[in-house]
Structure 1
Amino acid sequence: MNATSRSGALLAAFACVLVGASFTANSVLGAYPYAGGQALRYALACLLLLPLLGRGGTAPLRALPPRAWLRVAALAGIGMVGFNLAVLAAERTAEPAVPGVLVGCAPVVVAVLVPLLEGRRPTRPVLYGAVLVAVGALTVQGWGRTDLAGIAWSVCALGGEVGFAVLAVPVLRPLGPKLLSATVCGVAALEAAVLAVLVDGAQAVRVPAPAEAAALLWQAAVVTVVGFVCWYMGVQRIGAERATLFSGLIPVSAALTAPLVAAGAYGPAQAVGSALVGAGVAVGSGVLGAAPHRRARAGAPTDPTGTTGPDDAALRAAPHAPSAAADPDGVARRAGERRP
């Protein structure tokens, strides 16, 4: 693994650790209006990201074709707002571990889907690592009670997590991590605001209590601004297939931080699951030197820097992003469940 790949792996890992820790911090948002909270979160994140773009930083948006704007809207609607809505709906009839376990399968889906979309075979080390990560996430969280509706909504949440990683790839190169993060946050804020008005009407937003305000600020400033930028920088360096492996760190981080607020315990199962996640990340991300792309075998051009990505035709160096989500003890709730 070269320096570019190492930095990409560290960025993706850091983003996912932030998300996992946020599940514990955001447990206080269970009573806050979901869609309104999401609108506030993403709007504030967009405002915080704009100064980071510098003068003329939004210029690439003018050259973005309508098709790319549709992709950005889908990324925000499916991978951000839709993901959170699906998790919330699943938890109405299922224990939080159920959507967490299914979303934990995102690395496996991405490891298969991205190569198929590019017309190549899945990379074996990445696929094997993804399976280890998924098993580790299941071990950390366990399984919970559910019904058919809970499983269906959990599958939708899995689709949202996969969309968060895959839909971003073609627009990451022309926009870059910072502008893409700001753009999807602005679009997600508008989508969440419309949803809030339709669902909650006049009760869509209320003045948050001090603890709720702190949680929303953490979501916006740390998880979204810092997490999204780090996540997309990681995707840019190591690709969505390998970056999504690090979403297995989300349940590990949540399990480690839950005892701090007496919301769970870190026991032998969590330790074993954490070890499996670590092994999967090591195998699939190339830490052990075992994750080259098949593309070089096929005679396709390789990246001289040594980095490879899920869509090299559109993104030379190119999870989920954020993404995603595991909640070992029911810590993650309602308005705050978005990773990088």
Structure 2
Amino acid sequence: MSTETLPRPDMAGSSGPAEHARASRGTLIGIAFAAAGMVCVGSSVAVSAAITDAPLFTLQSVRYALAAVLLLVVARVTGWRVPRPRGREWLWLAGVATVGLVLFNVGVVRGVAHAEPAVIGVAVAAVPMLLAVVPAVATRTLPARPVIIGATVVTTGAILVQGFGRTDAAGVGYALLVLACEAGFTLLAVPVLARLGAFGVSFHSVWMAAAGMAVVGVVAEGPAAVATLDTVDLLAALHLAVVVTTLAFLLWFTAVGRLGSGRAGLLTGVVPVAAAALGVSLNGIVPGPMVWLGTAVVALGLVIGLRGGAAAGRPAAAPSVSAAGS
């Protein structure tokens, strides 16, 4: 697995044309990876419609366990090394798994019992703003203006695509939980991406999530729930494991390492757009005018935020990141 060293801001003035071209190429790769990863996530919408009657937590445990095994197979075939976490890295990874995967799924499942799915979708659509603002607040720096403007526009467009829906007070609470967990999935991974790389973060967070979901599944659905999974459920779990977990995680964490959480977060606006597009091909559902308008607004926000300069949205000290697939 090769290692791509991101240029530090204090070196920006001394880098030559070759270094600038390399940084631009890395940025384009990061954008492509983030967009592809979000398209993979968008595909989960169609799959989820087929598993509404399945024991969800048990199925999610199977999904993450399959993804962990698949990642190990990929490591064996490609010769990639699976880094072992050290010290506090275990805590960061446990945070990614617990907040970004286990609690996120709990929030979604419990949330749709109190709110229409669109309400939860709108909460996720606000993630670009958190990913742009939180790192700046944590480092006591001003957020990059193009990223903030782009995140605002992308969030607006994603909300137009997703739409609004009915909810109660509990639904609002679960929507906020989903928003925090979705942002935490990325932000909690940033401190360990430098050494563990996209592959290490993906593998360790996935097997931890499998264990966590197994516990939740046993408590909420009973130990025999796994025996109720039918062929459709298992095929759905396989898709979620291969496309929405293994592939999407590797693409996304690689993109975060190259772009920083702020600019990578802009690409989360692709999820509702991809879901709407897949709805056309899979279900023949043609999007309405608001979806088309929202898609255009998302595209505008991406142009604004991603053209804001190579350093925008990157951490103040950008370390070397092991880029999976590069």
TM-score range, shorter chain: 0.7 to 0.9
Question: Are residue 46 (structure 1) and residue 64 (structure 2) matched?
Answer: no
**Which residue number in structure 2 is paired with residue 238 of structure 1?**
259
Aligned-partner residue type, residue 258 of structure 1: G
Query: Mind listing any 5+ residue stretches in structure 2 that lack a counterpart?
Result: 1-22
Q: Tell me the CA shift for residue 141 of structure 1.
A: 1.3
**Which residue number in structure 2 is paired with residue 291 of structure 1?**
309
Work out which of the residue numbers 13, 37, 54 in structure 1 matches 2:59.
37
**Which residue number in structure 2 is paired with residue 188 of structure 1?**
209
Q: Tell me the CA shift for residue 200 of structure 1.
A: 1.5
2:63 & 2:75 partners in 1: Cα distance?
19
Question: Are residue 61 (structure 1) and residue 84 (structure 2) matched?
Answer: yes
> What aligned pairs does 1:119-138 form with structure 2 within 5 A after superposition?
119-138=140-159
**Which residue number in structure 1 is paired with residue 3 of structure 2?**
none
Work out which of the residue numbers 194, 207, 216 in structure 2 matches 1:173.
194
Aligned-partner residue type, residue 216 of structure 1: A
SS at match of 2:309: coil
Question: Are residue 309 (structure 1) and residue 314 (structure 2) matched?
Answer: yes
> What aligned pairs does 1:1-340 form with structure 2 within 5 A after superposition?
2-54=24-76, 57-58=81-82, 60-61=83-84, 64-65=86-87, 67-262=88-283, 264-286=285-307, 290-293=308-311, 309-310=314-315, 312=317, 315-316=319-320
Q: Percent identity?
A: 36
1:128 & 1:84 partners in 2: Cα distance?
29
Q: Tell me the CA shift for residue 310 of structure 1.
A: 2.9
1:136 & 1:14 partners in 2: Cα distance?
19
Please report the TM-score for the alignment, with normalisation by the length of structure 1: 0.83
Please report the TM-score for the alignment, with normalisation by the length of structure 2: 0.87
Report the aligned-residue RMSD: 1.9
1:117 & 1:48 partners in 2: Cα distance?
35
Q: Tell me the CA shift for residue 199 of structure 1.
A: 1.4
Q: Tell me the CA shift for residue 103 of structure 1.
A: 1.4
Moved over 6 A (4+): none
**Which residue number in structure 2 is paired with residue 327 of structure 1?**
none
2:189 & 2:94 partners in 1: Cα distance?
11
Query: Mind listing any 5+ residue stretches in structure 1 that lack a counterpart?
Result: 295-307, 319-340
2:321 & 2:72 partners in 1: Cα distance?
24
Count of residue correspondences: 298
1:215 & 1:56 partners in 2: Cα distance?
27
Q: CA offsets, 1:280-319, max 9 Å, x none?
A: 1111122xxx23547xxxxxxxxxxxxx723635x3469x
The answer to whether the Cα contact below 8 Å between 1:39 and 1:189 also exists between their aligned partners in 2 is yes
Q: Tell me the CA shift for residue 177 of structure 1.
A: 0.9
**Which residue number in structure 2 is paired with residue 298 of structure 1?**
none
SS at match of 2:294: helix
SS at match of 1:28: coil
Aligned-partner residue type, residue 35 of structure 2: A
1:237 & 1:53 partners in 2: Cα distance?
21
